[in-house]
Chains A and B, each alone.
Chain A
């Protein structure tokens, strides 16, 4: 449950992060692959070394999608916009749902490293809640 204030905070925060989408997205993925090696099983066909083309382009797409979602939190638009990504994750990627938590944790750590003290408890809480809600929509069509 995100308050109006938190929604504003998230729009502002992810606007600030969007120019660094490639850097942040690829770092979050790299942290996830390093800390939770089993997550690599979903990307066995790609080059996941640091700063690889694949890592950077997937990372960029992920951050841009997350940022875009902040503008529609709490609206029907949110679920509607994610419809394609939901189907993709459910029917094609078929990711075990616990992996979303692992990615979200690594995204939080990436943001903490990137923003330092600016990643306040308030921003941490709002982002964690938002990423959880986002993952729930992505996993909605799983069964």
Chain B
């Protein structure tokens, strides 16, 4: 079981209260596709991902970015039970989508950078540490179903 301090819990809630899913989600997915281009392999059906401008203007990417970020809802609502809440999504990513779980970490890093560009100095080192821990737990839960 993951232990969360009161401070960590409040940091996570604070971050979620400040971000807009329809903004951070798309921006995060765009960055993943641009900074780590091999992730585009999972989105061939999204149409034009030819260059940065195409990716940033692609409505499918924007729509799906928000979906991915909403995927974190289950975790923030129940931080004490993240592992079991992600069994189904984990299986989806493994059995149906065949996503290399090492890419989850990259997506997590991109979400972090986008949040940093928006929260700026208020995204303190302590907050970053709590956020990193939170995303690591989610990534680990998602990666558990691979066999």
Contact = CB atoms under 8 A, between A and B. Distances in A.
Interface of A: 27, 30-31, 33-35, 105-106, 108-109, 112-117, 119, 121-122, 124-125, 128
Interface stretch (B14-22, B30-38, B63-71, B92-100): B30-38
Contacts of B89: none
Contacts of B118: 116
16 contacts: A31-B125, A34-B126, A34-B129, A35-B129, A108-B109, A109-B112, A112-B117, A113-B119, A113-B123, A116-B117, A116-B118, A116-B120, A119-B117, A121-B35, A122-B52, A128-B35
A33 B129 CA distance: 9
Interface residues of B, number: 22
B1 interface: no
B31 A124 contact: yes
B128 interface: yes
A85 B74 CA distance: 45
B79 interface: no
A117 B114 CA distance: 9
A12 to B, nearest CB: 17
Contacts of B35: 121, 124-125, 128
A113 B121 contact: yes
A30 B117 CA distance: 18
Nearest to B132: A35
